[in-house]
Amino acid sequence: MKTTYITVLLAIFFISCGGNENQSIEDIISSNDLKLIRAKRSALDKEKQTIDQQIKDLNGAIERLDSLKRNPLVTALTIENKVFNHYLELQGNVKTKQNVLIYPEMPGTLEEIYVKEGQYVKKGQALGRIDDGGMAQQVAQLEATTALAKTTFERQEKLWAEKIGSEIQYLQAKTNYTASKNQLAQLKKQLGKSVLKAPFSGVIDDVIKEQGTVVAPGPGSEIFRIVNLSNMYIEADVPETYISYISKGKEVEIEFPVLDEKVKSSVRQTGNFINPANRTFKIEIGVPNSKKSIKPNLTAKLKINDYTNESAILIPQSIISENANGDQYVYLVTQMKDSIGIAKQIVVQTGKTQGDFIEILEGISAGDQLIEEGARSIKNGQKVKVTN
């Protein structure tokens, strides 16, 4: 091949030097004779066409006769059936249904605060106390009055059982005791509002008011925020097209990018309402939080298994090409002998994708040799050499 090109170049050189009475190209150009220059160019164009055709013929002969010619190098992989799990990827926010602000139920001065931020408290534990305005003394007085009314009623009841005294005296004693007892219970209930208690077990997330602050029921008077980090869940919106695939109990992989942490859970509740604004329904996923590191409103990435094929064919997406008709195709190696084979173009029907791989539904089957590297630089029917 190298000898052929040298011969051709020499031929061009001698031709260029031999025409027009052995005048060189430089001499012809320096003559400034336009007719002569054009004639020389025309002669060279004809010679070039002849030489190009001769080179083409020589290349064809070399291609036909050279037994050591190089075939395109490709790699091939053997198609196997695999288990394919497809995952729906969503984003959700961590929430808790036990994240509340504690407000005062009576007006007064916040006299004592028993807890601090970050402290774990149990349900019913006292968090702080509001000045009761002398209500405790009223309760003590009423307790004494109620005790006397009780004693009077019990004695009157004994006398009435022995038919001593009048019925009206018995009924009056009973009424006085009942009224006093009810009044005492109501006052104690009111007094109980002076002590702020935890509605559930959790962590004091924020102590909002300072000791000595005058508080009263109503907006803007919150004193504590308490959060239960043990009962966390993630809420996410799922497109309605997946309504038949996502159900209670479906396994979910949860990733918290900020924490660099992954956990497994399952769908604990699916919504029964399609939001007409975005055509989605809500799901809830319970979140195990033994380390207490997961906080409300934390962003989470969800992967929910919505499709499984126990005997799927998966291939890299990068080796699929598309023709002018919109058909997707790949190349198989056929008639393999001593690492040399024929590339055969096969139109395929694809399914779901996951990461860098795509499911093939029709076109190829297990055992086929699929061209991987080099697939985009070959043609249908071309001989190839498989390197692996």
- Count helices and strands in the chain by DSSP H and E runs: 5, 22
Nearest of 269, 238, 267, 239 to residue 254 by alpha carbon: 267
pLDDT digits (tens, 9 = 90+) for 188-214: 888 888 899 999 988 898 999 999 889
Question: Does the pTM of the predicted model rise above 0.75?
Answer: no
Residue whose pair of structure tokens reads 């924490």 in the numeric block:
259
Question: Which residue type does 360 have?
Answer: I
Give the H/E segment covering residue 224. strand 224-227
Structure tokens at 6: 């040298």
User: What gap in Å lies between CA 37 and CA 132, rounded to an integer?
Assistant: 118
Residue whose pair of structure tokens reads 């907006």 in the numeric block:
219
Distance, CA of 35 to chain centre = 77
User: What gap in Å lies between CA 305 and CA 71, rounded to an integer?
Assistant: 44
- Name the strands in the sheet holding 108-113, side by side, starting at the edge strand that comes first in the sequence: 195-197, 126-130, 108-113, 214-215
pLDDT at residue 8 in the model = 43
Q: Percentage of the chain surpassing pLDDT 70?
A: 93
User: What gap in Å lies between CA 240 and CA 342, rounded to an integer?
Assistant: 47
> pLDDT of the chain along its 388 residues, tens only?
444 444 444 444 444 444 445 678 888 888 888 888 888 888 888 889 999 898 888 877 776 666 555 778 888 889 999 998 888 899 999 988 888 899 998 899 999 999 999 899 999 999 999 998 888 888 899 999 999 999 998 988 888 888 887 888 889 989 999 999 999 999 888 888 889 999 998 889 899 999 988 999 888 889 999 988 887 899 999 999 988 888 888 889 999 999 988 989 999 999 889 999 999 999 999 988 877 788 888 999 999 988 888 999 999 988 898 888 888 999 998 888 888 888 899 999 999 888 889 999 999 989 899 988 888 888 888 888 888 7
User: What gap in Å lies between CA 361 and CA 353, rounded to an integer?
Assistant: 12
